[in-house]
Amino acid sequence: MTLIVVATIDAQPDHIDAVRAALEAVVPPSRAESNCLRYELHVDNKLPTRFIMLEEWTDKAALSTHAETAHYKALGAAVGDKVVKIDIAELSKLK
């Protein structure tokens, strides 16, 4: 069964562009990972400081491997002090 991840990233209002650029930069290398099935970046239409990443991985191990990649670590370093909150939900599909 695949693992679905919904990552919600709330940027500080004065850092929206920097957070968006860092998130956009991580999309191509993440999609290129062999166990990545989906990696999509969205912005909340009602709250422009909120970005949502919808991800699908083959399994939990694939997500763990993703967290160890250089591009994922670079993302963390780039947005670290520019966000208010990051919430990551790991989901299993029921039906």
Whether the Cβ atoms of residue 71 and residue 30 lie closer than 8 Å to each other: yes
List, for residues 41-61, the tens digit of each pLDDT value.
999 999 999 999 999 999 999
Q: pLDDT value at position 1?
A: 85
d(CA 50, CA 26): 17
Q: pLDDT value at position 59?
A: 96
- Tell me whether strands 50-57 and 83-91 are parallel, antiparallel or unpaired: unpaired
Written as six digits, the tokens of 59 are 């399994």
pLDDT over 90 (residue 95):
no
Report the percentage of the chain scoring pLDDT > 90: 95
Mean pLDDT of 64-73: 97
For the chain, list the domains and their CATH numbers.
3-91 (3.30.70.100)
